[in-house]
Amino acid sequence: MRAPKTPRTVSDPRTRLAVLGSPIAHSKSPVIQRAAYAMIGAPWTYEAIEMTGDRLPAFLDSLDGSWRGLSLTMPLKRDVLPLLDRAHPMVDRVGGANTVLFADDEVQGFNTDVLGSVAALRSVGIESLETVHLLGAGATAASVLVAVAELGAHRVVVSARTPAKAADLVALGEREHVRVVVQEWSAGVGESIPDAVISTVPGGQNDLEFPEDVRATAVLFDVAYDPWPSELAIAWQDAGGTVVSGLELLLQQALGQLRVFVAGDPDAPLPDEQRVLEAMRAAVA
């Protein structure tokens, strides 16, 4: 059955949380979330559960009133959409949810990947972008596309192993007033150097080579964090370029999830939030 209506406080009976995905054994989310709960004094538990999309409906139906929320990773961010009773506007905007809150007798969906991506880029001083080269065309790529639109990007080149799968990104770009150009995976960056190269490829898998002037000039944001450094990150570091790790995204989107789990609002900062973030960061240092 679905979780009953309960107040949104850290002391209510909803104490169980988990991250779902496949594969999930490598996830650092449990150690990050647990560090945050210790900092805010919340008596919550958080575990990692192997989960596929076909099993997700039965899993949600099996949860009782002890469950507060879930973090979702591949491949569940889109699979969960038809199972939600209510979706935060960012979920509809992106077309994916990475967070579930059980509250008000509802299954509520949120997306904190956009917030996390913007914060990760700002962590290295990026306040605006014009052109971006995006690797990959999955659910995370959609969140990144919205994030770079928030930072002012007007042109995004998408390299996709199967270009037809990027059609949704083209449509999303139109809604976000961003021109999205899709190309074959091996086509390269072209004559102009983008402001940022962003890889959303799972596990950091990459066989592309970027010229040294691109690696030295464009910021690399690689959403992968295991293994780290990724092949792309090593190539960028060798050229003296700026690299944003996927671990920074993981931390920042997790902070947004914590806001949801505490107050039901990804945009509502927590009391003493910087100290909470520092505790989360220290847990994976």
How does strand 99-103 pair with strand 106-110? antiparallel
Please tell me the predicted confidence (pLDDT) of residue 9: 52
Task: Report the pLDDT averaged over residues 81-94.
Answer: 97
**Among all residues, which ones are annotated catalytic?**
77
Q: pLDDT (tens digit, 9 = 90+) per residue, 179-221?
A: 999 999 988 877 789 999 999 997 767 788 999 999 999 999 9
What are the structural domains of the chain?
A: 16-112+250-283 (3.40.50.10860), 125-241 (3.40.50.720)
Q: pLDDT (tens digit, 9 = 90+) per residue, 17-44?
A: 999 999 999 899 999 999 999 999 999 9
Per-residue pLDDT for 94 more than 50? yes
What is the Cα Rg of the chain in Å?
19
State the Cα–Cα distance between residues 160 and 183, nearest whole angstrom: 7
Q: Provide the token pair at 160.
A: 């996709």
Quote the pTM value: 0.92
Q: Provide the token pair at 261.
A: 């789990």
